[in-house]
Amino acid sequence: MPLPRPRKNETKQQFISRCIAEMTLSKSGRFPDRAQRAAICYSQWGETPQERKQHAGTLERKRRKDI
């Protein structure tokens, strides 16, 4: 499941609430700790599109390294 992203015209509080709820309901169980889910959601709110692109590239390099 991809991480939630802020929607157009969504306030910070609305996004954080929705993000935590979606991650809590996710069946993947990747983030069982509520504090970790909150930290991820706050991070998602603060990332610019350029930072997201750079972050995705870093993750891809790490995945290739693990293979």
62 in a domain, yes or no? yes
In the chain, the amino acid numbered 60 is E
Instruction: Confirm whether 6 is domain-assigned.
Output: no
* Residue 44 CB-half CA count within 13 A: 23
Residue 4 maps to a domain: no
The secondary structure element, H or E, covering residue 57 is helix 49-66
The CA-CA-CA angle for residues 28, 29, 31, to 5°, reads 120
- For residue 27, give every residue at least 6 positions away whose Cβ sits within 8 Å of its Cβ, in sequence order, or none: none
For the segment 32-40, the average pLDDT, to the nearest whole number, is: 88
Domain contains 1? no
- Does residue 39 lie within any of the structural domains? yes
Residue 18 has pLDDT above 90, yes or no: yes
What confidence tens digit (pLDDT) does each residue in 39-64 have? 899 999 986 666 666 655 554 555 55
What is the number of structural domains in the chain? Answer: 1
Question: Residue 27: inside a domain, yes or no?
Answer: yes
